[in-house]
């Protein structure tokens, strides 16, 4: 659901919806910093836009959850992520 529709549904302004989403995103990012790498890691490389841009989705297969999404799919693009 887009923020405009959500704002109308809840009787809030779009700026309020954007602010709430930004706060939630920061909170979730902080939570993930303390997580360990999943025991069983699944990797998928979906296209983002007409097969020209890719992302790499990392999934916790044991708990059936997305662990992270990283932009790109090449070794050089993912090396920085995995060395962190």
Residue-wise pLDDT tens for the chain (84 aa)? 888 899 999 999 999 999 999 999 888 878 777 677 788 989 988 776 666 778 899 999 998 988 888 888 888 888 888 887
CA angle 49, 73, 44 (to 5 degrees): 80
The tokens describing 79, both together, are: 């090396």
Question: Domains of the chain: which residue ranges?
Answer: 1-34, 36-84
* 19: enclosing H helix or E strand: helix 14-33
């Amino acid at each position: 659901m887009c923020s405009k529709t959500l704002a109308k549904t809840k009787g809030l302004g779009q700026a309020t919806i954007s602010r709430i989403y930004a706060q939630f995103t920061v909170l979730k990012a902080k939570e993930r910093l303390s997580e360990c790498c999943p025991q069983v890691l699944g990797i998928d490389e979906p296209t983002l836009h007409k097969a020209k841009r890719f992302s790499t989705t990392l999934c916790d297969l044991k708990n059936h959850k997305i662990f992270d999404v990283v932009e790109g799919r090449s070794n050089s693009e993912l090396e920085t992520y995995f060395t962190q």
